[in-house]
């Protein structure tokens, strides 16, 4: 796991048939480095955007067991607006 990756989402713990399960859903962003220099449609600034890969994942005991919904985004470094590539 990369130190710059972030996770948000709920983590849940439950007892199912006496077996303790710790699982969670989250959306992860993986930093892919600098993106294109472009004018932002939201804040109007022209700057270098950051390119990220976003995906949803399901974890059991903090180990990812499924990933889906993968897409690449570029994010404005000033206001955080995201554009799907």
By CB under 5 A, is residue 78 in contact with Zn ion? yes
Site residues for Zn ion, 3-22, by CB under 5 A, read none
By CB under 5 A, is residue 66 in contact with Zn ion? no
Binder of Zn ion out of 28, 40, 50, 57 (CB under 5 A): 40
Cα–Cα distance measured from residue 14 to residue 40, given in angstroms and rounded to the nearest whole number: 44
By CB under 5 A, is residue 76 in contact with Zn ion? yes
By CB under 5 A, is residue 60 in contact with Zn ion? no
Site of interaction with Zn ion (CB under 5 A): 40, 42-43, 76, 78-79, 81
């Amino acid at each position: 796991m990369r130190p710059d990756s972030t996770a948000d989402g709920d983590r849940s713990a439950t007892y199912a048939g006496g077996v303790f399960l710790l699982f969670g859903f989250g959306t992860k962003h993986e930093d892919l480095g600098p993106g294109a220099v472009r004018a932002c449609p939201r804040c109007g600034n022209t700057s270098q955007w950051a390119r990220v890969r976003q995906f949803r994942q399901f974890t059991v005991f903090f180990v990812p067991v499924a990933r889906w919904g993968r897409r690449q985004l570029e994010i404005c470094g000033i206001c955080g607006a995201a554009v799907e590539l």
